[in-house]
């Protein structure tokens, strides 16, 4: 397994005043969000009368061949949502792929969700006791059941009521046959942006999806806000008072380098993290080498601040692919060697190796060993985030705490394990300075701004 926090999910929604190739646009937009989830993909489309869903396990282009896309191409389609998934709660099973659909008193609803509801389990138990039926093991279905249960309310008001009950970090796109809604948790932990089409609107996890569709970026969905299209106009309902603490890992690692989230460009933030990292932990070296692709921005910043040359001392193969099952340590090591190999740039050099994070430490250990075997005299590891010591409850799989090397070992013990000549992590203050605003640092310090599951209660409904 590639030793990184696993991607979250990507969500996308389109509303158009006139018939459109909604399926084709959603398919294209999902490709810009593929980095956010690589286990499953799905699209739901409606022409106002019929709502059709296609989804399956696999990458976007594996799931959506021409046959599947043809089924989604309703002649009068004007509304649709899409999802690319990494399973954080619920097993990686086909029936957990999204969008999820449910038939209710409000008609057919489809929902796509990025993040986690930390109080999903008690709400699910309550709904089961009241006679609700669940078809999946994901917490996403809890929200759609909450909405469906509020039979006396229109869809927008029912969704707002569900928002008030749910805790955690999440962004959601939701549709019936004619309406498209999008919402974000009150802390804005998970991102969501709004774009304008010629005669419609797009909601997406990140701006590159808007760019690919030719949509004009309007703004981010505000924390605690519910937005929807009514009468061809974008409507807003501030359901919860905003308490913004967006996930720092969006800028550290997850978001595409060309994304701008909550007004902060991810690549520029990564460069600033690298500059902060040099100020906090300079190294006696001759060369800065990034771990591709995740360490590139921070390595640029470190090189810029230090005056050291930046060299691509590691080659990343674009053909290694993604291995879903690597059951042994030997297979994991082989996977690392398939992905990365050292170049001659490191021969006889003292190297600063820059990456964004260390989770288990296995990949860092292999890379340090490869560089030394390739002739690097010294390898000084610099990480552009603090040590990950706590699990994330908001939609990132950071591994169980017992598997987090920083939760079990001291800085010196980690350095010795990975075989580096020195090791330093960026401080929490350095991350905040680089991003320039309040952020969620729960996986580093154990302080959960959007709440966490009750003591002794698992977040996942089924693992």
Active-site amino acid positions: 9
Nearest C-alpha neighbor of 5 from the set 444, 341, 353: 444
Evaluated on CA atoms 91, 94, 96, 99, the torsion sign reads positive
Alpha carbon separation from 150 to 159, 228, 445 (Å, rounded): 9, 18, 38
**β partners of residue 202:** 14, 195
Instruction: Enumerate helices (H) and strands (E) in the chain, giving the number of each.
Output: 16, 21
The torsion of the CA quartet 174, 177, 180, 186, rounded to 10 degrees, works out to -30
Structure tokens at 162: 């569900």
Nearest C-alpha neighbor of 100 from the set 48, 129, 153, 140: 140
Contacts of 73 (CB under 8 A, 6+ apart): 21, 23, 24, 45
Structure tokens at 376: 């690097």
Nearest C-alpha neighbor of 167 from the set 147, 186, 142, 149: 186
Alpha carbon separation from 90 to 139, 165, 166, 282 (Å, rounded): 7, 21, 18, 43
Q: If you compute the radius of gyration of the chain from its CA atoms, what whole number of angstroms results?
A: 22
Residues, the chain, total?
463
Nearest C-alpha neighbor of 356 from the set 265, 259, 431: 431
Contacts of 18 (CB under 8 A, 6+ apart): 78, 199, 200
The burial class, CB within 10 Å (0-12 / 13-18 / 19+), for 323 is: middle
Nearest C-alpha neighbor of 443 from the set 192, 167, 164, 169: 169
């Amino acid at each position: 397994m590639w030793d990184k926090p696993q991607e979250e999910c990507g969500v996308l929604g389109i509303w158009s005043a006139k018939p459109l190739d909604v399926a084709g646009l959603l398919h294209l937009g999902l490709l810009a969000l593929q980095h956010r989830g690589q286990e499953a993909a799905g699209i739901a489309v409606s022409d106002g009368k019929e709502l059709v869903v296609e989804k399956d396990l696999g990458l976007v282009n594996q799931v959506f061949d021409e046959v599947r896309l043809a089924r989604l191409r309703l002649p009068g389609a004007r509304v649709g949502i899409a999802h690319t998934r990494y399973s954080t709660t619920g097993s990686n099973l086909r029936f957990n792929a999204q969008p999820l659909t449910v038939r209710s008193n409000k008609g057919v609803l489809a929902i796509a969700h990025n993040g986690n509801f930390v109080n999903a389990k008690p709400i699910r138990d309550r709904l089961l006791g009241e006679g609700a039926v669940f078809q999946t093991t994901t917490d996403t279905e809890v929200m759609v059941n909450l909405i469906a249960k509020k039979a006396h309310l229109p869809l927008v008001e029912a969704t707002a009521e569900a928002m008030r009950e749910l805790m955690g970090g999440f962004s959601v796109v939701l549709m019936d046959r004619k309406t498209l809604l999008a919402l974000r948790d009150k802390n804005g932990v998970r991102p969501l942006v709004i774009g304008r089409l010629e005669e419609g609107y797009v909601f997406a996890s990140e701006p590159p999806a808007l760019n690919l569709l030719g949509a004009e970026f309007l703004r981010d969905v505000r924390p605690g806000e519910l937005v929807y299209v009514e009468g061809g106009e974008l409507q807003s309902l501030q359901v919860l008072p905003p308490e913004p603490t967006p996930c720092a890992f969006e800028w550290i690692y997850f978001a595409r380098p060309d994304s701008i989230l909550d007004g902060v460009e991810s690549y520029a933030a990564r460069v600033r993290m690298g500059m902060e990292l040099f100020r906090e932990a300079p190294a006696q070296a001759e060369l800065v080498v990034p771990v591709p692709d995740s360490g590139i921005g921070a390595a640029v910043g470190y090189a810029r601040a230090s005056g050291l040359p930046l060299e691509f001392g590691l080659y990343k193969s674009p053909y290694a692919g993604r291995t879903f099952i690597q059951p042994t340590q030997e297979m994991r090591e082989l996977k690392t060697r398939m992905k990365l190999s050292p170049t001659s740039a490191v021969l006889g050099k003292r190297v600063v190796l820059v990456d964004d994070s260390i989770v288990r430490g296995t990949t860092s250990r292999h890379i340090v060993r490869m560089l030394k075997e390739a002739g690097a005299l010294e390898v000084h590891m610099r990480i552009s985030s603090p040590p990950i010591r706590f699990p994330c409850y908001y939609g990132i799989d950071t591994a169980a705490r017992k598997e987090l090397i920083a939760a079990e070992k001291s800085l010196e013990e980690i350095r010795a394990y990975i075989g580096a000549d020195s090791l330093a992590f960026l401080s929490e203050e350095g991350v905040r300075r680089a991003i320039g605003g309040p952020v969620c640092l729960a996986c580093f310090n154990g302080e959960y701004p959007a709440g966490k599951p009750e003591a002794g209660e698992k977040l996942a409904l089924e693992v």
